[in-house]
Homo-oligomer: A and B are copies of this chain.
């Protein structure tokens, strides 16, 4: 599926880390929410409220998930989950195009 259909998209971008991470919110007919975003090379830490599924469409990065002490390589076509109410770290090596799904509790 190359596009999301019959959705709403919030015009204003979410901007983090001086614009090195940006995203826009997509809302589906059933009320569920995803963000489509871009991360430029750098190191970042994010905190979650809801649990997240991060799908990496393109990119080259490493992630440090909560409770882990080893960085895990992720490339385009792969995905990972982050639990709710947690923080995780990313090292981005190449421009990363992602889709983040916020999972119901």
B11 and A99 form a contact (CB under 8 A): yes
- Is A38 within 8 A of B12, CB to CB? no
Q: Are A15 and B99 in contact (CB under 8 A)?
A: no
A8 smallest CB distance to B (angstroms): 5
Bound together, the chains give a CA A11 to CA B11 distance in angstroms of 15
Is A19's beta carbon under 8 Å from chain B?
yes
Q: How many copies does the complex hold?
A: 2
CB-nearest residue of chain B to A25: B3
| Contacts A19-B38, A24-B24; A97 near B13 (Cβ below 8 A) | yes
Size category, A interface:
20 to 34
Contact B9 A38 (CB under 8 A): no
Q: Which B residues are in CB contact (< 8 Å) with A95?
A: 15, 18-19, 22
Contact A36 B24 (CB under 8 A): yes
A contact residues vs B (CB 8 Å cutoff): 1-13, 15, 18-20, 22, 24, 26-27, 36, 38, 40, 57-58, 95, 97, 99
